[in-house]
Structure 1
Amino acid sequence: MGTQVRAALTRYRVMAYIVGVALIVLTLIGMPMKYIWDDSRVVATVGTAHGWLYMVLLVTIFDLGRRARWSLGRMVKVMLAGTVPFLSFYMERVVTRWIREQERRREREPERVAG
């Protein structure tokens, strides 16, 4: 795996976890506090932070997708995973597997040509 793809993957993984945790806090803590106890402090702070962090996540996904030469459809699927609680954690594992499989295929290609 090229160092640029590896660095982009690391940035994506960090952002996927941060955005995933923020979305879970918003969904499991903030929303009940707002609608059951009429306290919107968590929604106001975490919701705003999640919105901005999600934008950063979109940029990291685009950067990784461009470097890994993904189709636009694959990029959009990964981007949408950040909108569903817990899905960003699963998708992070899927994306890491995609990138590592791509790396293994590229490492084997010269062997086939030389053999």
Structure 2
Amino acid sequence: MDIKTASALHRLRLVSVPEALSFPALLIFGSLLSRISDINLVMPLGALHGILFLLYLVFLLDVWNRAKWPRKKVALFFLLALVPFGGLYGDRVLKRDEARSLLAARAREAAKA
């Protein structure tokens, strides 16, 4: 793996936690708020959740392309995006993979010097 792969993993990590929290926190909060008051935030919060989900999918495809993940791993990360709080588990796995990728890239650069 190289620095670009580590960057792709990092981008996926950056969006995985907000995406994981956007459904349970934002949409449920917006639904409850609209039921108990006249404030209706479901549409804007739903749009925010949709944007985060689409970003997650784009970054997941980028990681799949760069890191050459097997289809099972990509399918697992896709399913984690569908499960509330699933991205929190994915973040831990991505953090470990990102650290390994950075170490491998630094070791290659040190070997060249």
TM-score, scaled to structure 1: 0.73
For residues 39-58 of structure 1, the C-alpha deviation after alignment (integer angstroms, 9 at most, x for no partner) is 57221111111112211110
> Compared with structure 1, are the counterparts of its residues 75 and 39 closer, same or farther at alpha carbon in structure 2 (3 Å cutoff)?
farther
Amino acid at match of 1:66: N
Residue correspondences, number: 107
Which stretch has the larger CA shift, 78-87 or 94-103? 94-103
Amino acid at match of 2:66: R
For residues 41-90 of structure 1, the C-alpha deviation after alignment (integer angstroms, 9 at most, x for no partner) is 22111111111221111010111122111112211210221222211111
SS in 2 for 1:9: helix
SS in 1 for 2:83: coil
Identity over the aligned pairs, expressed in percent?
A: 25
The CA RMSD measured in Å over matched residues stands at 2.7
Q: Which runs of 5+ in 1 are unaligned?
A: 109-115
The equivalent residue for 2:80 is 81
Structure of higher RCO (CA pairs closer than 8 Å, 6+ residues apart): 2
Asked whether the 8 Å contact 2:57–2:78 carries over to 1, the reply is: yes
Q: Which runs of 4+ in 1 moved over 3 A?
A: 98-108
Tell me how far apart the structure 2 counterparts of residues 73 and 40 of structure 1 sit (CA, whole Å). Answer: 42
Which stretch has the larger CA shift, 87-96 or 36-45? 36-45
TM-score, scaled to structure 2: 0.75
The equivalent residue for 1:31 is 31
Tell me how far apart the structure 2 counterparts of residues 101 and 53 of structure 1 sit (CA, whole Å). Answer: 26
